[in-house]
Structure formats: C-alpha cells, structure tokens
C-alpha cells in the first residue's frame, strides 16, 4: 500500500457491528468561532441548526450555484464532489457540472490534448474553452428548470479571471439564481505536489498517458493559468457572495453569504479538510430489530478474528482509533481490537420505537398500517416513538463533520456501527440518494474500506 497520500485522501474503515472511554461529539459548531479562523465577515445570515421545517420550504425557493474559483491542482474537484455529496445526503438535490467534461468533448474532435490548449495566447483553444464553460452554465439552467426540487448546482471550473466571473453572473442572475463563488487557494508546495500526483493518475485528461509525462504536462498547464489568474478581490469584488479558503481551512474569508442553505455550505467547507458492521447479535439470529442484544456465538467468533484481518489492511505503525456506539454488540465486537476506543451515542442504531425488539413479521401483524407506510417510503417513515432514516442522517451529521476534519494520513478511524448507521455513512461517501440509501446492502462480518479521491471513491471489500 502506498503510504504517501495527498491532503484530500483519507482511509476510514466502517465496521458495522470498548469500554475505554466515553465521548460525545460537539453539537453543531458555530463555523465562525470554532471550525476555522474567519478573517473577514462582511455580511452573514442564516442559522446553523436543525433542518426541521426548513428543508422543504427552502427547496422550492432557492436556486443556488456554487461556482468554484482557483488554479488547477488545488482540490476544487474534490471539494466540489464532497460538497455535492453532503447536500444530497441532507436532502437538497445537488449536481456537479464539471466544465472539463464539456471541454473534453470539444478537444476530442480536434486532438488538442496537451498543455498548449490552455495557453492564453492560443485563441482558437480559448474560444473552445469559453464555449465549454457557457454550455455548462446553460445546462445548469436547464437542470433547475427540469425539476423544482433541484436546489444547488456545483459549477466546477477555474473561473480565475474577473471577466469570467462576470460572465457567470450575467448568465445566471437573470434566471433568478443565486451565485456563491468558492475559491480554493493553496500555496503549500507539498500539498500541491501530492494533489498533482493524484490527478496524473485519476484525471480523465491523462488516461493512458505515462504518469511522469502527465505530471509534467499538468505543471505546464498550471503555469499557463498563473499568467492570467486574478484571485477574488475583497475590495473590487466586494459585491459578490464568496467563500475563500486558503490551505485547507487555515484561513477562511466569508463575504456576503446569506440564507440557511448557504450557511450550511460555509459550515461544511470549514470542516472539510469508510467499515464492517458489528458482529452477529442474538437479535440478528432471531430476526429482531433494534434492542441492545449481546453478540451471538458466531458474532463472538467474528470479533476474535477481526484484529488479525484488520491488521493486514493497514500499514505498519499506523495509528488507529476505534469508534463504536454505546450498545453492547458494537462494544463487544471491538473488545479484541488492541487500539484506543471511544463510544458515541450518535452512532447508536436507528431507534425503532414501539417496534423495538420485534421481528418484521410481528410488525406486519400488529402494526399493518405502519408496515405498509414503511414499505412505501422507507427513508421518511418514522417508527412510533422512534426515528426515520431522515432523522438518523441528521443525527449522524456531526460524525461526518469529524471525519471530514480528520486529515492525518498516518491515523485510521475505524467505525464499528449498525446496519442503518453504516448505510447512512456509506451512502454519504458513495453519493447514494435517499431512495437508494435504505436499501444499501451492508452484510454482517464484512470490512469495507473507503478511500475518497478527487473524482470518485475507491472501495475495497
């Protein structure tokens, strides 16, 4: 396994399944006082809090475009995809529009594949690039018009000149679309080097190219962009809504950000820097849901074998921390793991309320109407006195924030959780929508390793 990782890679083992210490994640952090240092806040509105009552009302009113700004190799595509995953996970319909995809269609026909295509003196190529950018914006407008539930479009482009940013506004503002520019700045040579190393092997631009040649070409591409780069200017562009993040949240500037969804975007970006289930429990054997059962003999066997299996998946001398729920079966699953362990209440299984401890057959017999409603809409159905998957997603948001803030490549987080919990976490990383989430198959006694990359997530079973 290659131990050298860029800042935007992390390994998390999601263990679906000791008593060393208790901890609870902080409640929603005020992003302006805790998650990062904010140097300038010109105008800021909205609130950080519960989504109840706001989710549906804002869906039909807000049309937001997050337009990225910055040089290549700074983590824009990674951040764009992560932001889209987060918004979709919360229930806001979001989609990434990557200008590179539009450009590649045009370039493919002409064979303009090298860094020369990005030379500002190459007028023919410049026209093609501007046309690709405009086509992406037109598709964004069509996407909003196609469904009133579509809420946030992510415009993944460089937008490195003031003129280009004016063009974005001139196309979108007349369509009653709010635009937030998100500039990703990085001047740390080591981070940039690691990002480029990832891009040279994962970017569609360099498929089939020798990695060293790809890296050289990409560096020359960056040099072309640097000639014309105009960072967001707080004085000259004070009227724009923007978020400017430097060196992975080291410095964040927030300017004219107003509204609930927009504030949640700030919150996520200020925290941004996957695992087997628990072993089989006695309730698993009996087909019952919920409860706080002990492991079955088969689950105990899995717990004993887990340390040796897990040790083969991580580099030597890697630091490991185990996160479990507060329920017996996850604590027991972790008991033989020779690493520090922490319990989190928010990792507990979905609360099945009055149906706790029932089999699905018993629920169908005693609560036929509830059984039918759950079958019709599994994500939004809430057990009487319990939770829905939507409730669980909101409960798990602090865990997601902690994982996104975690950026030590020499430290692995292992989450030993429950089926519904792992479904939610896995769906976040894999960008599954709410219709898919409740049906994601998470088998017992399985180790799933998820490694987020710029363009996708690597998954190993």
Q: Which of 308, 454, 313 is nearest to 1 (CA)?
A: 313
Alpha-carbon distances of 220 from 113, 193, 227, 287, rounded to whole Å: 13, 13, 11, 60
3-state secondary structure of 216: helix
Question: In the numeric block, which tokens belong to residue 303?
Answer: 């717990």
Catalytic residue among 280, 349, 370, 397: 349
Q: Is 349 a catalytic residue?
A: yes
Q: Which of 8, 11, 156, 397 is catalytic?
A: 156
Sheet-wide strand order for 411-417: 341-343, 319-324, 411-417, 12-16, 448-452, 457-460
The C-alpha atoms of residue 389 and residue 383 are separated, in whole angstroms, by 10
Q: What share of the chain is helix, strand, coil (3-state, %, to 5)?
A: 45, 15, 40
| Separation CA 171–CA 144 (nearest Å) | 14
Cα–Cα distances in Å, from 387 out to 349, 373, 378?
A: 10, 14, 11
Can you read off the two tokens belonging to residue 426? 């896995």
Q: Which of 278, 418, 434, 445 is catalytic?
A: 278
**Residue 418 falls in the annotated catalytic set:** no
Give first-to-last CA distance, the chain, whole Å: 15
3-state secondary structure of 3: coil
Q: Is the separation of the CB atoms in 412 and 319 below 8 Å?
A: yes
Q: Is 278 part of the annotated catalytic residue set?
A: yes
Rounded to an integer, what distance in angstroms lies between the CA atom of residue 253 and that of residue 238? 12
Q: Catalytic residue numbers?
A: 156, 278, 349
């Amino acid at each position: 396994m290659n131990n050298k990782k860029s800042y935007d890679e992390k390994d998390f083992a999601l263990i679906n399944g000791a008593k060393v210490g208790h901890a609870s994640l902080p409640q929603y952090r005020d992003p302006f006082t805790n998650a990062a240092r904010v140097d300038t806040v010109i105008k800021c509105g909205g609130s950080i809090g519960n989504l109840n009552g706001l989710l549906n009302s804002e869906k039909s009113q807000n049309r937001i475009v997050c337009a990225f700004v910055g040089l290549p190799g700074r983590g824009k595509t990674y951040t764009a995809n992560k932001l889209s995953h987060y918004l979709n996970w919360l229930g806001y319909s979001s989609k990434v529009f990557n200008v590179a995809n539009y450009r590649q269609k045009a370039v493919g026909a002409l064979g303009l594949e090298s860094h020369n295509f990005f030379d500002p003196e190459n007028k023919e190529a410049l026209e093609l690039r501007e046309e690709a950018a405009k086509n992406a914006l037109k598709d964004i407008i069509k996407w909003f018009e196609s469904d009133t539930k579509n809420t946030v479009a992510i415009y993944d482009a460089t937008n490195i000149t003031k003129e280009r940013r004016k063009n974005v506004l001139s196309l979108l503002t007349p369509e009653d679309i709010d635009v937030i520019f998100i500039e990703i700045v990085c001047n740390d040579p080591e981070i940039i080097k690691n990002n480029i190393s990832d891009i040279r092997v994962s970017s569609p631009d360099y498929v089939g190219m020798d990695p060293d040649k790809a890296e050289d070409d990409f560096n020359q591409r960056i040099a072309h962009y640097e000639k014309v780069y105009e960072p967001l200017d707080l004085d000259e562009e004070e009227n724009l809504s923007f978020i400017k993040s430097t060196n992975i949240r080291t410095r964040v500037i927030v300017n004219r950000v107003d509204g609930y969804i927009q504030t949640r975007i700030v919150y996520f970006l200020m925290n941004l820097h996957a695992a087997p289930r628990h072993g089989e429990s006695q309730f698993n054997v009996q087909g019952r849901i919920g409860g706080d059962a002990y492991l079955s003999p088969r689950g105990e066997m899995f717990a004993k074998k887990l340390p040796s299996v897990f040790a083969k998946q991580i580099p030597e001398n890697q630091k490991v921390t185990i996160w479990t729920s507060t329920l017996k079966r996850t604590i027991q699953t972790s008991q033989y793991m020779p690493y520090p362990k922490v319990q989190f209440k928010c990792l507990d299984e979905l609360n099945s309320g009055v149906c706790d401890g029932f089999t699905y057959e018993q629920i169908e017999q005693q609560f036929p109407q509830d059984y039918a409603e759950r079958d019709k809409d599994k994500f939004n159905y809430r057990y009487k006195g319990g939770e829905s998957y939507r409730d669980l997603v909101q409960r798990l948001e602090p865990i997601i924030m902690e994982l996104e803030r975690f950026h030590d490549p020499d430290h692995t987080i292992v989450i030993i959780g429950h089926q519904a919990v792992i479904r939610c976490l896995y769906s976040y990383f894999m960008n599954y929508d709410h219709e898919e989430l409740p049906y994601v198959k998470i088998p017992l006694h399985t180790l799933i390793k998820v490694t987020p990359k710029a363009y996708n997530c690597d998954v190993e079973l």
